[in-house]
Chains A and B, each alone.
Chain A
Amino acid sequence: MLSTLNKYRHVFLVGLQSNIVYRWNFAVRSFFSLFQLAVVFILWGAAYRGATTIGGFSLHDTLTYFVLLLVLQFLIGAFQEDYQISEEIRNGLINQFLLKPVNYYAYRFSIFVSARLVSGALVFIPLLCALPFIHGDLTLTFEPWRIALALPALIMSALIQFTIAYCFGMLTFWFLDIQGFVILSFAIETLLGGQIFPLDLLPAKIFAAAQYLPFFYQMYFPAAIVTGRLGAESIGRGLGIQLFWVLTLLALAQLLWTRGLRRHTAVGG
């Protein structure tokens, strides 16, 4: 068990070094995300000029939600994992894992964790630059019990994010180019993950239905726990549904891997 963990610890450390090499890419990306934040501040600021609360939440609550969402994107979001996995399958780089006692999912997940550690740290640089301008617009009163419940939700969100990206990468066994699928899925995940607007602003029935989809647990769920947009009962039920989706997606990832390998042809030495 310990030797297995040690194996992936090394993968994690190599991944960390490799991602530190690309620190400027992450830094530039996090800088551009400030523009995305500016759009949010301008749009919602204008929408709130006609109303003190929207969906029961103040402007500051909503802006805090979006700032937290930005941090989560860099901390647990899957950026390029689907394309990287696709590339490794197309180029035959996965062949080496077929001959070694290395689990490909665990290998890629270790690299994902190291990459998010680097990008998660770098997102704080532009945020700290923006803080003098935006701190007055934020509601920074986080309750300890919410933080405690948000931690397992965050870990499961990261697993869902990564596993969905992994499954899309696996599609390369069947399709030469997965970019269209990935961008289509990204649009759906962005919308139903609450990155366009807080999902609780949807009509009640649609919001209730959205809670049964995996996208709900990618970003919205942990952000809503911390920012107080969900009550204790909803959080408890949500953690159960989230666990269900983690297990379902892990099973799907394993199925796609085994089925995909049956189609795979390894050529060359």
Chain B
Amino acid sequence: MYVAVKGGDRAIENSQKLLDEERRGDPRVPELSLDQIREQMSLAVDRVMTEGSLYDPELAALAIKQARGDLVEAIFLLRAYRTTLPRFGVGEPIDTAKMAVRRRISATYKDLPGGQLLGASFDYTHRLLDFALAAGDERPVAEIAPEGVESGMQHVADILDHEGLIEREDPDDENQPVFDLTRESPRYPADRAARLQNLARGDEGWLLALGYSTQRGYGNNHPFAGEIRVGEVAVEFAPEELGFPIEIGEITVTECEMVNQFKGSAQVPPQFTRGYGLTFGHCERKAMGMALVDRALRARDFGEATEAPAQDEEFVMAHSDNVEASGFVQHLKLPHYVDFQAELVTVRALRRKAEAARAIADAAE
């Protein structure tokens, strides 16, 4: 009915005003600036950029502010904004071997060339709440070494590759297109490019849980964190009007290479196999989950049994996107009055039938 629609309009408008007020919180407390979010909630910004699939720290900070810190909502906002922008083209693949490394660890080699760089990490903190921080952050000062980190740090996988102990990751044919799920519908079986793009945008919680499931035995792949590195890489792009590639800026990325148990064949002696994770910003847990799931999804390529959920690519890929998942779950809140009326009619009819059947049975006794 028309009247009901008008009533809904006002309620929605007022709900949004209330939302704005609650977002702001107590007006006596200073308002958050985007700079504060970008600088002091930087890991939230990184997650929103990665899963929102758009590298822009200011926009991610705005999305976080607008979403009141609800990161999945912020990811939705960034994805929606993304659709309003034209795409100038596709960049050259980033070269993580040339990364300006700020953190680099390996669980497979103690003394790897270039060394273990802890960088800024929660790993060795005691996870005790810091009440000094609650009282106000005294300007912390990092230690500064006399020299920087050596450049062009070798990947751990290259060390194993010299001995032929690990499968090689060779470039694909540059003339072939690369699957893009923002332009094409998913096809199954999916190729690795489609899987990696899906996982790169995928929900961190989903990948964490699926990766964890593989460690607990659901598609066990015996992983070692071969290498995790975080740092800056250049983004190169060749504009048509120039005809040659130029660097258009730098992005921070996290890369994880998982080294997994062996596969061999009549032609190739047993080798370690690999799983790969890559994210925008510093999203280490996500990169590790992604690398575990990437390896699990390669089960078919290696002729392994595909019995566990993490090895089922359609199951994994079709449910990884938190914008889609959130949309479909939350649409249940929308009015389903007519559907529900139909169900009411059905359940009443079924009950009448059941009652009638019981009455006949009672009469027969």
Are the chains A and B members of one assembly?
A: no
Binding site for B on A (CB under 8 A): none
